[in-house]
Structure 1
Amino acid sequence: MIFVTGGTGLVGSHILLEITKQKIPVRALKRISSSKIVCEKVFNYYKQSHLLKEIEWIDGDINDIISIEEAINGCNYVIHAAAIISFNPDDVKEMLNVNIKGTANVVNACLDSNIKKIAYISSIAALGRNTSKGIVNENCIFQMNKLETNYSISKYHAELELWRGAAEGLETVILNPSVILGAGDWSKGSSQIFEKSFKGIKYYSEGGTGYVDVIDVAKCAVMLLHSDIKNERFIINSENIKYRDIFDTLSEKFNKPKPKIKVTTLMKEIAWRIEYVKSLFLDINPRITRETANMAMSRSEYSNNKLQKYLDYKFIPISESLENYANWFLSER
């Protein structure tokens, strides 16, 4: 049996779908306050709603070590996908607590329960950007600089907990997905790009990053979990693309004008400061933070050579992902 954390989120829901399609027994952890709407939406869209009954849901919290130990009892494998993704300064304390302490609890529970192997859904954010050739791979060493976000710091330290577990005998694989494209909640995470593009985007930057379909992340997680590979990390990235190219593609799909105004460094610095002041006076979350503004201006490329060497995996083209999820988005309008 596989134990999955974060099963109510975008990645976790697709992992559960992949596991149940393979007829593997699965148990999923959810907080009492969490909704299963995204998970049900994903299963329904792919006409697999009959598989929902195959999931054994159990209430708990990764920050409660006792609930984790009880939930993991009787399982052989673990996929740890639970995390908080935020670039809002107000969320830093909770994010560090969940992503680092919560991961430590999961690792400790695995060690105490003699789990055979764990797959951890990390992020390219944990890899750092210190590479002279401009292409990030699994050997890059994380170093602090002004471009590293609190989220990246949390995922880096979470990975250290996995390596600690590996040193203590827990077989481990770490997945470092790039920006994940998928459909779940259009108002959260990278899925927001479809909502924003539908409303119209005026501005663009020269930045860019890697993208991957959530289906690929889920498939790679299950494949690596059941492989003989252990104590390795893998970048899960389909293509490296400029933000402007993504916006142009979606704008064309939604019959909206393509972004025309190029964001300069000065505009970027002014924008996040204005949003910060507005958030203070209006008590709302800023649409742009210092971290997201810096990310929009940076360009990083990620190599998937290692995964290809080990698995020879064929990724879904990003053009196909954008087309599929844009159609899904439009079907719900």
Structure 2
Amino acid sequence: MVLVTGGTGLVGSHLLLKLTMNNTKVRALYRTEDKLTQVKKIFSYYTDDPASLFAKIDWVQADILDIPSLENAFESITYVYHCAAYISFNPSDFKKLERINREGTANIVNICIANGIKKLCHVSTIGTIGRTITDEHADEETEWTRQHANPYAITKHLAEMEVWRGAQENLEVVIVNPGVILGPGFWNSGSGSFFKTASKGYNYYPPGGSGFVTVNDVTNIMIALMNSDIYNERFILVAENLTYQQILKKIALSMDKKQPSTSLKFWQLNLGRFADRLRNLITGSPRTITKSTIYGLKNPTTFNNEKVKKALNMEFEDLDEQVKFSSKLFISEHS
């Protein structure tokens, strides 16, 4: 049986969809009942009978910080997909990020070792891939440092160290480092915010860019890696390196909205950072603009995806079709 942590998130829910469609026996962790509704919604995007697929999942209420609940969840498990993580770029959230991302991953690794799990797939981020100081693409071997890294990337790097520790104790592991994952349903976080922003028809766009990949590619690659003889390797999952203007234009065009044409200046971003900090102090709303955010916009990194393409003899799918599909769903849910 396969275990999926973080089964109620973007990657986890799409992974569960693929696994159940392949008739894989699967168990998934959830923390609260309301999160399960989101999974059913994701399933409904792709099938006329989401309930039957959802019913195939053995759902277990557990927390990756609660070892007794995890030990129960690992009964009869042979393979583990670790998708659970806490995402925040707010420096004041560092302790919570470290607990969930590093300590939670350490718990998963330890229980995998104790239970003789055959293979672990850990979902990380391109934030743990080193930055290049030239125009060449960063790859899996580019050296990473904490300097200018955001709190999320730092704690995901610490999580990767826990996974490599497991590899040293004879646990077979694969790590995937996806870029910005394009997919539907989670409109208030991650790539969902791009769809939300594009729908408003703003004239301005942030400078810089990132690597982008579809959620279908991410989940298909994870499954392919777990079914392969590959282990103790990490892989960048990026289909295209795009500027933020380019991705917002793609989404705006698919929504028939005004396309952004004016780049935000860095002085405007710095003013926005102070306003963002003030709003956070007054309302407790999440931070969206920090020093590390602005540094990343000033110094964007592009990524090399050749390693996974060669390892699996595959090509990434075109981003445009996912953009159109997700945009259509966004419009239907917000009209």
- What TM-score comes out, normalization by structure 2 length? 0.94
CA shift for structure 1 position 287: 4.5
Mapped partners of 1:234, 1:286: distance in 2: 29
Which whole-Å CA distance do the structure 2 matches of 1:209 and 1:283 have between them?
Answer: 28
- 2:77 aligned counterpart, secondary structure: coil
1:189 aligned residue: 190
Aligned pairs (5 A) from 1:149-164: 149-164=150-165
Task: Quote the Cα distance in structure 2 between the aligned partners of 1:42 and 1:165.
Answer: 32
Q: Aligned to 1:233, what secondary structure does the other structure show?
A: strand
User: Per the alignment, do residues 32 and 257 of structure 1 end up closer, same or farther by CA in structure 2, a change over 3 Å counting?
Assistant: closer
Residue aligning to 1:204: 205
2:122 aligns to what SS in structure 1? strand
Give the Å deviation of 1:328.
1.3
Paired residues of 2:7 and 2:16 also in contact (CA < 8 A): yes
Gaps of 5+ in 2: none
Classify 1:72/1:204 alpha carbon distance in 2 versus 1 (closer, same or farther; 3 Å).
same
Q: Which residue of 1 aligns with 2:112?
A: 110
Instruction: Determine helix, strand or coil for the equivalent of 2:270.
Output: helix
Q: Identity over the aligned pairs, expressed in percent? A: 38
> Could you tell me which residue of structure 2 aligns to residue 265 of structure 1?
266
Equivalences for residues 161-310 of structure 1 within 5 A: 161-310=162-311
Q: TM-score, normalised by structure 1?
A: 0.95
Equivalent-residue separation in structure 1 for 2:263 and 2:36 (angstroms):
40
Separation of aligned partners in 1, 2:283 and 2:71: 42
Which position in structure 1 is the counterpart of 2:53?
A: 51
Aligned residues: 332
Equivalent residue for 2:97, pick from 95, 108, 114? 95
User: Deviations for 1:103-128, whole angstroms, at most 9, x for unmatched residues?
Assistant: 00000000000000000111111112
Bigger shift: 220-229 or 200-209?
A: 200-209
**How big is each residue's C-alpha offset from its partner over 1:54-93, in whole Å with a ceiling of 9 and x where there is no partner?**
1000011001122112111111000000001111234322
State the secondary structure of the residue aligned to 1:332: helix
Aligned-partner residue type, residue 80 of structure 1: H
Tell me the equivalent position of 2:122.
120
More displaced stretch, 158-167 vs 283-292:
283-292
What is the match of residue 75 of structure 2? Answer: 73
| Aligned counterparts of 2:283 and 2:158: Cα–Cα separation in 1 | 34
Q: Which residue of structure 2 aligns with residue 63 of structure 1?
A: 65
Which consecutive residues of structure 1, in runs of 5 or more, have no partner in the other structure? none
- For 2:164 and 2:13, the matched residues in 1 are separated by 26
- Distance of 1:10 and 1:73 partners within structure 2: 25
Which residue number corresponds to residue 40 of structure 2?
Answer: 40
Work out which of the residue numbers 123, 135, 140 in structure 2 matches 1:138: 140
CA distance in structure 1 between the aligned counterparts of 2:32 and 2:243, rounded to whole angstroms: 39
Secondary structure at the counterpart of residue 201 of structure 1: coil
For 1:43 and 1:289, the matched residues in 2 are separated by: 35
Distance, in Å, in 1 between the alignment partners of 2:138 and 2:192 is: 24
Q: Per-residue displacement from partner, 1:287-318 (whole Å, max 9, x unpaired)? A: 43333333333321111100111101221211
In the alignment, which residue of structure 2 is the partner of 1:3?
A: 3
Match of 1:26 in 2: 26
**What is the Cα-based RMSD across aligned positions, in Å?**
1.6
| SS in structure 2 of the partner of residue 35 of structure 1 | helix
Is the aligned partner of 1:332 residue 2:310? Answer: no
Which amino acid is 2:41 matched to?
Answer: K
CA distance in 2, matches of 1:250, 1:162: 36
Superposed displacement of residue 21, structure 1? 1.2
Letter in 2 for 1:84: Y
SS in 1 for 2:55: helix
Tell me which moved more, 76-85 or 297-306. 297-306
* Counterpart amino acid of residue 182 in structure 1: G
Q: What are the Cα deviations for residues 207-226 of structure 1, in whole angstroms up to 9, with x where unaligned?
A: 11110000111111111011
Partner of 1:316: 317
Kindly indicate whether the alpha-carbon contact (under 8 Å) linking 2:255 and 2:328 is maintained by their aligned counterparts in 1.
no
Letter in 2 for 1:310: A
Deviations 1:192-248 (A, max 9, x none): 111111012232233111100001111111110111001001111111111101112
In 2, the alpha carbon distance for the partners of 1:284 and 1:52 equals 33
